[in-house]
Structure 1
Amino acid sequence: MKSRTEIEQYYLSGKRFFRNIDFDFGESFENSSFENAIFEYCYFGVEFNNSNFKNAKFIECNMKSTNFTNCDFSNAEIRESLMEAIDFKGSKIPNLIFENNTSYGAKVKLNSETLEIEYNIHQLNSELYKYIPEFEKITDHSNDENLYSVFGDLSIVLVKEIIKNENLSDLITNSFRFFNYLSDKNDKEIDNLLVVGIYEGLYHSEKCNDIARKLLNEKAKETYEFNLENGIMNKASR
């Protein structure tokens, strides 16, 4: 099948299964009907606005750069597919199953109110971005579900920021404000996240240690100093 006409004739003949089909023929598929169709390993990347996908299934498809505006996805399923630069605005999605889909390697979800693709994000990472918008703007969000990955990335960025700047930047002050906020939760798992995810990256720079001692509150500083002394010294003695 190499044209919209062939695709439509295939569907109108009563066939509903599309496998390994590339729909990017340089043609628009707007106002199409694919009710009850099953798409496996298909590539889209075209205009499907105002089309009917009721009860359709998309399994492991490449849906990048596809326009699905004002479509009907009632009772449809979209699973394990690539979802970069997708437009679902104005579409109907009652009972749509949207599972295990990714964008740039990260799992995503479809916001049922805005109909926008959003990254799944761990609650603490969401709080991190709220406290440190400077970091939120420069990170790639590919690991937003993973706490230790995001905190580790922040640690690397923070060390570079401290070393290269004579004065305290917003990223630096907001980072330590966030660490103090987390420390005040009195949660041992969060304290361990701070040590392993953040502090261990700072320990090897005296300048970073000085800034940490200056900006951390008493509880956070106690955790920082204890693990600086015990962690670094224990490693050095091995």
Structure 2
Amino acid sequence: MIIETEMTIKILKDFVRSGRKHFKKVEVTEFGSIHYFNFDEVIFEECILSLDFTGSSFRHAKFVHSNIKASKFGEADLSNSEFINNAIDGCMFKNAHIDGIVFLRNTQHSNENTIEDLKEMVK
């Protein structure tokens, strides 16, 4: 994966607030929290993110070919979102809302996780 842009949490939030919906080959270079933030319809493609998104909204959002290891989606609204071909090692999804989610070919420690695995992580 070749990263073309690095940004901080503040810059990411500012871009989303200003209406930017597509992030490609972006790495958020710091660890931290973005709680209860609206990421509805945002696309993360070939990105590197390791953030605490507790309570945030990702309705109709997409994570594609990204490294989201150690990210936290506890109590997040992931309704109708898509997670396709991501590295999800150490991700937490406790009490996330996953109605209508598409969850395909995501791997954790080189093993593919299915929608059934995700349902176990939500419990």
Matches of 1:64 and 1:32 in 2, distance apart? 19
Structure having the higher strand fraction is: 2
**Partner of residue 167, structure 1:** none
How many residues of Structure 1 are paired with residues of Structure 2 in the alignment? 116
1:14 maps to amino acid: G
Matches of 1:53 and 1:47 in 2, distance apart? 13
Deviation at 1:21, TM superposition (A): 1.6
Structure with more contact order per residue of length (Cα contacts < 8 Å, sep ≥ 6): 2
Matches of 1:69 and 1:31 in 2, distance apart? 10
**Partner of residue 3, structure 2:** none
Q: Could you report, residue by residue, the CA deviation over 1:167-194 in whole angstroms, capped at 9, with x for unpaired residues?
A: xxxxxxxxxxxxxxxxxxxxxxxxxxxx
* Structure 2 unaligned regions, length at least 5: 1-5
Contact 1:57-1:76 at 8 Å conserved across structures: yes
**Partner of residue 74, structure 2:** 69
Deviation at 1:24, TM superposition (A): 4.2
Matches of 1:44 and 1:53 in 2, distance apart? 14
1:7-86, aligned counterparts within 5 Å? Answer: 7-86=12-91
Between Structure 1 and Structure 2, whose CA radius of gyration is higher?
A: 1
Q: Could you report, residue by residue, the CA deviation over 1:45-103 in whole angstroms, capped at 9, with x for unpaired residues?
A: 12111101000011001111111100000100000011111110011000000011112
1:101 and 2:121 equivalent? no
* Structure 1 unaligned regions, length at least 5: 117-238
Which runs of structure 1 show a deviation greater than 6 angstroms over 4 or more consecutive aligned residues?
A: none
Of 115, 118, 121, 1:115 maps to: 121
Kindly, what percent of the aligned residue pairs are identical?
A: 24
1:87 and 2:92 equivalent? yes
Aligned-partner SS, 2:10: helix
The alignment yields a C-alpha RMSD, in angstroms, of 1.6
Normalising by structure 1, what TM-score?
Answer: 0.46
2:91 maps to amino acid: I
Structure 2 CA distance for partners of 1:15 and 1:29, relative to 1, 3 Å: same
